[in-house]
Amino acid sequence: MAIFTLARKDLRLLARDARAMVILLAMPVIFILVLGVSLGEGFGKKEAERLRVSVLNLDQGIPRFFDRSTMLREGMSWFASGAAMPLGSVLALPGLTLARVNHSAWFPHGSWADMVLQDLAQTAGISVELIGSLDEARALTRNGRRPAVLVLGPSFSKRVERCSFLAAGWEELFLLTSCLPEPGLPVNLAFAACFNEGQDALPLYFLDGINPFFRDGVKPEELDIQVLKDPTQQTAAAIIDQVAQGTLLRVVMPWMIGRAFGKIGDPDFIDLLSRENVSIRALGVPVSLKSILSVMKAPEKQALAASLQNSIQNLFPKYNLTANTWAALTRSSDADRAGVDAVRFREEGSGWLKRGAMRYQLLVPSYLVMFAFFLVLTVGWLFVAERRQGTLKRLSAAPLTRGQIILGKLLPCYAMSLFQGFFILGAGWLIFGMTFGPQPLWLIAVVAATSLAAMGLALFVAALARSETQVAIYGTLLVLVLAGLSGLMMGDRSLMPEQMQHISQFTPHAWALDAYKQLVASPEAPNLDIVGKACLVLAGFGVVFVALAWWVLRLE
């Protein structure tokens, strides 16, 4: 009963100064508020191990003819476009067949934007962030939150599909009919509409001829690409621009080389050779190459073209000239390297305070721990006041042991520390939108263990100090030094150098921080073994500090 009598007396003394109690509770909330607004979304995060490339994918892909209805639409478009030609509707049935035959040779079977995202994800040191809309991308660069955003426009896949080293496709051939007299004008306009890039009826293997390259790499505007840049972050934006250039070269160049080299294996290539006025000697007699090739049948031309293609390929054994991807073209040994999954950009928090932002999952526990140990000053001043007033000397004359006196002083301070801890957690949830994680009941154990360690240290400092000045010096030095060593200032010990992480384990703050991180800041289920171990270590710190206080306490 004597212990509880002492506890009630000290609790009345602590509660008597209501203004000090309000300040004690309000200070951590004010610190969290100021830092939460000031530090921004990067607080508590490690320096990125990968370069983040933000991408807005507006690409509409390429119309593919997998199902019966779209194949029928293609065939009908052939019928419509061929109506004005001599063969007319005869083209409709071959149109359907051609679409199906060419389907197996189409590359890629997805969109070219997917190829770009895959290449970026597989590039070492690169992570991809997907932006949701053009307005969001512009806001991110305008506000300086992203140095650059790569925007793949709606026609990106169609433009890449048309990239070729070859001459222009049928589109320009039909546009030449503009020189026809007036009756040919409707035909010309009809074909111009059919081969317009915006239509989805005809396949785009008719629309060759885009040259996307210039001195510095790929011309973005040719492929319906733009790079939104923050003018105040030119260096970072230039790095992202060059990363995008590298990816576009790796995606577009193999496609163009493969298409060009594939033409060598076509009989049409033999027909081109036959146009050359070249003579060779056979049995001592000059023979025109044109005359030889002109009498060859289609299968013979096919065999000759394939033989020429294989011979050229054999000259370059380190490369696969018919490939459509960079890894296949260069025969890369790490072609199957796993990439990093792209992540969606999400606005962190809401409102002016950014309630619910990740920063509060780190700030609230950090300042809860820090201000739990700030009670060292309050407890120290309470002891010094009682020593100056002679209360401790009168207690030494009472039938009380030193242990009873220590416990009587510890209980009210411990109760105040618990109240402060739960108050800060409640304020974090109510004001800052902090969440308590999937195991909220464990927070009670962590708060209790942290308060025990803090009050044990407070009693130890109070037992050592003999004046208010000594309390201020000892207490402030301990609180600030331990907060710095433990990583409280950064919110996460993993942000510290590895050597300092080991040193920080000698502080109770670090163990409390690890427990809170598992419970409220871990993206996965908390490791309760770590939390339980941290609680035991914190309780151990508290017992050791109380024992030291009992040993050094002088009541006179």
Rounded Cα distance, 14 and 24, in Å = 11
pLDDT at 556: 58
pLDDT at 151: 96
Q: Is the pLDDT of residue 186 over 60?
A: no
* Bridge partners (DSSP) listed for residue 53: 128
Q: What value does the mean pLDDT take over residues 74-103?
A: 49
pLDDT at 65: 46
DSSP letters, 83-110, are TTSTTGGGGHHHHHHHHHHHHTT-S-SS
Q: Would you state the structure tokens that stand for residue 515, as one six-digit string?
A: 């427990």
pLDDT at 516: 92
Would you call 337 helix, strand, or coil by DSSP? Answer: coil
Q: Where are the domains of the chain?
A: 2-41+353-552, 51-259+312-344, 265-311
pLDDT at 179: 46
pLDDT at 43: 60
Q: Would you state the structure tokens that stand for residue 141, as one six-digit string?
A: 């660069």
Q: Which long-range contacts (CB under 8 A, 24 or more apart) does 346-352 make?
A: 348/41, 349/433, 350/433, 352/37
* Bridge partners (DSSP) listed for residue 343: 129
Q: Is the pLDDT of residue 203 over 80?
A: no
| CA distances (Å), origin 79, targets 67, 76, 82 | 19, 5, 5
Task: Characterize the bridge pairing of strands 225-229 and 148-152.
Answer: antiparallel
pLDDT at 244: 93
pLDDT at 263: 80
Confidence of residue 63 (pLDDT cuts 50, 70, 90): low
Q: What value does the mean pLDDT take over residues 230-246?
A: 90
pLDDT tens figures, 282-306: 666 677 767 777 777 878 888 888 8
Q: Is the peptide bond before 203 cis (omega within 30 degrees of 0)?
A: no
Candidates 465, 381, 523, 519; CA nearest to 45 is: 523
Q: Is the pLDDT of residue 71 over 90?
A: no
pLDDT at 105: 52
DSSP class of residue 555? -
Task: Answer with the residue of higher pLDDT: 118 or 285.
Answer: 118
pLDDT at 182: 47
pLDDT tens figures, 104-115: 455 676 789 999
Q: What value does the mean pLDDT take over residues 427-441?
A: 91
